[in-house]
A and B are shown apart, each in its own frame.
Chain A
Amino acid sequence: MKRLAALLLTLTFSSFSMAADSFKVCWSIYVGWMPWGYGDEQKIVDKWAKKYGIEIDVVQINDYVESINQYTAGAFDACTMTNMDALTIPAAGGVDSTALIVGDFSNGNDGVVLKGTDKLADIKGQQVNLVELSVSHYLLARGLESVGMSEADVTVVNTSDADMVAVFPTAGVTSVVTWNPLLSEILDMPGANKVFDSSQIPGEIIDLLVINTETLKANPKLGKALTGAWYEIMATMSGESKAAMAARTAMGVASGTDLAGFDAQLASTEMFYEPAAAVKFTESAALMETMKNVAEFSFDHGLLGEGAPDAGFIGIETPAGVYGNKSNVKFRFDPSYMQMAADGKL
């Protein structure tokens, strides 16, 4: 009975890869993750998978949170997400996860927008519309901190990202926190002022490709193939060559804009085109400090699970050291695959 039920539920909730060398990766629309869609379309991922004798299925998921939940439930072996969501969803859910590729960090892509004033301090007492418990919420908390306020000084209204652009012009809405491409859409509206953005906390909102640690350990080929494919796409899309323009145009169109729009988003994203830069960033002590901030924010908002007695309950391993509980490490930054790419060993 128990076995049967377990089997039924495993079948329902996780993909049962019959062939051990077939893997699934999910991604969602965001400037820093569009390369995955492009790499899939151009068969770059397939090429690298073939090189290592495995199969990789790249799947686009329209709902960002749903993609992370699917990954956490075991339906995907790897998925794109931010550092904060990787900590609060899979890692807090006991799924040991590794940041295989540190793709970029938000450098202005996330922002706080106020109506009719350009001073962040005027946010006091206002209702702030944002996707609660997301990186927007984190950005707001960091912004408030910078002007000596706390979340108690505002009222946070949970608002779906899908409706953010539509609700901004309405009368009751005076301030929102959101990300691109919604942010640029809102900033085009009359009266909108960006009063704080992620370029003021550079390197804190990081976009990753997160992979299940056990899967990676058992299949280093998967890590190599994904990393190899990623940096080939990076090399293709950077610069001003014809091929790079074509690649970025394709990514722009896929995300609902054009080359100019996509380049504008890239301008506020610090892409790590070179693996060496990503390795350096991952190895820096600043990353550990960021993860500490993120862990404390997450703990304050009850995102680390109820069993968590303090912010360090979930250990976070970075090359500079472990933050928090060393015997409960569930989130790891592992630059070794990016290092291989930097060394040309893939």
Chain B
Amino acid sequence: MKRLINQNPSRVWRIGLALLPFAIILLLYISASEARLAENAQDKLLPSFGQMADAVQRLAFEPSKRTGEYLFWEDTGSSLRRLGLGMLIAASLGMFFGLMTGAIPLVNASLAPLITIISLVPPMALLPILFIVFGLGELSKVALIAIGVTPFIARDIQKRALEIPREQLVKAQTLGANTGQIMLRVLIPQLMPRLIDAVRLSLGSAWLFLIAAEAIASTDGLGYRVFLVRRYLSMDVILPYVAWITFLAFIIDYLLVRASRFAFPWHAQQEGK
């Protein structure tokens, strides 16, 4: 008798088992949606897939009645612009401060505690202050992402920099390298894939900050649309938007993995991937 803990699914089974929970959720949704729609054909809570497809068709492929824009793509563009800019700023600042505090003990002594404290401030609580300082426009939305994500990346990079074996730094010094050269040739190349990892891990919070900022004051964006149509319970728009946000997040994550593997193949090997 083969024990359960020793039974490994074959490749085909593995795929099947992975798809099973999705299929069950889908089936539950469809039957529940049908049941509710049978009772009330205009029910908005659990729209059918046909209704959702109509909503996507309308938002993505027909110009808006009011502004003549393709709302879905406008929203996607605005949100990705904010997210991209915020993450770019956060990654650059995070890398800079992480590297400095990780490589130079004097900087570490003065800045590391500050970064630790800042990282403990919940960015969402700062939002009203950001609005007053930066106004309601694009700046405060990008700033929220940058402020929320930078300390996380900085701390991560700092920790990774400190993990780099001391021997490497000593070796570089015996070869005559100065501080700048060591940072440029020893630390930064090894920290770059770590930076990509940190960005991947913080993307979840970045999305959260983006959606939250858009929900509060905005004229476009994925979060804006979701919170706007929430006012009249338009689940046929909300559900596809949530699926689309999930898909975008997945694609960005995937692209970062590929970029990391392409640019730093040694890192992937190290990680056993």
CB neighbours of A158 from chain B (8 A)? 217-219, 224, 227-228
Contact of A243 with B by CB under 8 A: no
Chain A residue with the shortest CB-CB distance to B224: A158
User: B230-242 toward A: CB 8 Å interface, digit per residue (1/0)?
Assistant: 1111001000000
Contact of B263 with A by CB under 8 A: no
Do the beta carbons of A133 and B232 come within 8 Å of each other? Answer: yes
User: B35-46 toward A: CB 8 Å interface, digit per residue (1/0)?
Assistant: 110001111111
Contact of A195 with B by CB under 8 A: no
Closest-CB distance, A163 to chain B (whole angstroms): 6
User: B211-231 toward A: CB 8 Å interface, digit per residue (1/0)?
Assistant: 000011111000010011011
C-alpha gap A282/B117 in the complex (Å): 60
Contact of B15 with A by CB under 8 A: no
Do the beta carbons of B218 and A157 come within 8 Å of each other? Answer: yes
Do the beta carbons of A163 and B216 come within 8 Å of each other? Answer: yes
Interchain CB contact (< 8 A) of B219 among A65, A155, A160, A167: A155
Chain A residue with the shortest CB-CB distance to B54: A306
Contact of A61 with B by CB under 8 A: no
Contact residues of A with B, CB < 8 Å?
Answer: 1-2, 5-6, 8-9, 13, 65, 69, 72-73, 88-89, 92-95, 129, 131-134, 151, 155-160, 162-163, 166-167, 169-173, 301-303, 305-307
Contact of B255 with A by CB under 8 A: no
Do the beta carbons of B32 and A160 come within 8 Å of each other? Answer: no
Interchain CB contact (< 8 A) of B216 among A5, A92, A159, A169: A159
Chain A residue with the shortest CB-CB distance to B46: A9
CB neighbours of B44 from chain A (8 A)? 72, 92-94, 305
CB neighbours of A306 from chain B (8 A)? 54-55, 58, 236
Stretch at the interface among B98-106, B127-135, B168-176: B127-135
C-alpha gap A156/B219 in the complex (Å): 7
C-alpha gap A166/B232 in the complex (Å): 25
CB neighbours of A72 from chain B (8 A)? 44-45, 233
Closest-CB distance, A134 to chain B (whole angstroms): 7
Do the beta carbons of A5 and B32 come within 8 Å of each other? Answer: yes
Knowing A2-B35, A129-B136, A166-B128 are in contact, say whether A89-B232 is a contact too (CB < 8 A).
yes
Do the beta carbons of A172 and B136 come within 8 Å of each other? Answer: yes
CB neighbours of A5 from chain B (8 A)? 27-28, 31-32, 35
CB neighbours of A162 from chain B (8 A)? 216
Interchain CB contact (< 8 A) of B36 among A9, A89, A166, A167: A9
**Number of residues from B at the complex interface, CB < 8 A:** 38
Closest-CB distance, B234 to chain A (whole angstroms): 8
Interchain CB contact (< 8 A) of B137 among A65, A169, A172, A307: A172
CB neighbours of A92 from chain B (8 A)? 42, 44, 232
Closest-CB distance, B54 to chain A (whole angstroms): 6
Contact of B34 with A by CB under 8 A: yes
Which residues of B from 88 to 138 have beta carbons under 8 Å from A? Answer: 128, 131-132, 135-137
Contact of B166 with A by CB under 8 A: no
Q: Which 4 A-B pairs have the closest CB atoms?
A: A94-B42, A6-B35, A172-B135, A9-B32
CB neighbours of A156 from chain B (8 A)? 219
Contact of B65 with A by CB under 8 A: yes
Do the beta carbons of A171 and B55 come within 8 Å of each other? Answer: no
13 pairs from A and B in contact (CB 8 Å cutoff): A5-B27, A9-B32, A9-B46, A94-B40, A95-B40, A158-B219, A163-B217, A166-B128, A167-B131, A167-B132, A170-B136, A306-B55, A306-B58
Closest-CB distance, A149 to chain B (whole angstroms): 15
Do the beta carbons of B136 and A157 come within 8 Å of each other? Answer: yes
Contact residues of B with A, CB < 8 Å?
Answer: 27-28, 31-32, 34-36, 40-46, 54-55, 58, 65-66, 128, 131-132, 135-137, 215-219, 224, 227-228, 230-233, 236
Do the beta carbons of A160 and B217 come within 8 Å of each other? Answer: yes
CB neighbours of B230 from chain A (8 A)? 65, 69
Do the beta carbons of B218 and A166 come within 8 Å of each other? Answer: no
Chain B residue with the shortest CB-CB distance to A302: B65
CB neighbours of A155 from chain B (8 A)? 219
Do the beta carbons of A163 and B232 come within 8 Å of each other? Answer: no
C-alpha gap A307/B44 in the complex (Å): 12
Do the beta carbons of A305 and B42 come within 8 Å of each other? Answer: yes
Closest-CB distance, B213 to chain A (whole angstroms): 11
C-alpha gap A337/B217 in the complex (Å): 41
Do the beta carbons of A2 and B31 come within 8 Å of each other? Answer: yes
Chain B residue with the shortest CB-CB distance to A131: B231
C-alpha gap A72/B36 in the complex (Å): 13
C-alpha gap A191/B171 in the complex (Å): 67
Knowing A129-B217, A132-B231 are in contact, say whether A8-B32 is a contact too (CB < 8 A).
yes
Do the beta carbons of B232 and A94 come within 8 Å of each other? Answer: no
CB neighbours of A173 from chain B (8 A)? 135-136
Closest-CB distance, A97 to chain B (whole angstroms): 12
CB neighbours of B135 from chain A (8 A)? 170-173
CB neighbours of B224 from chain A (8 A)? 158
CB neighbours of B27 from chain A (8 A)? 1, 5
C-alpha gap A65/B44 in the complex (Å): 15
Knowing A65-B231, A170-B131 are in contact, say whether A73-B54 is a contact too (CB < 8 A).
no
Interchain CB contact (< 8 A) of A6 among B32, B45, B58, B232: B32
Chain A residue with the shortest CB-CB distance to B30: A5
CB neighbours of B32 from chain A (8 A)? 5-6, 8-9
C-alpha gap A302/B44 in the complex (Å): 14
Chain B residue with the shortest CB-CB distance to A156: B219
Knowing A13-B45, A129-B136, A305-B42 are in contact, say whether A167-B217 is a contact too (CB < 8 A).
yes
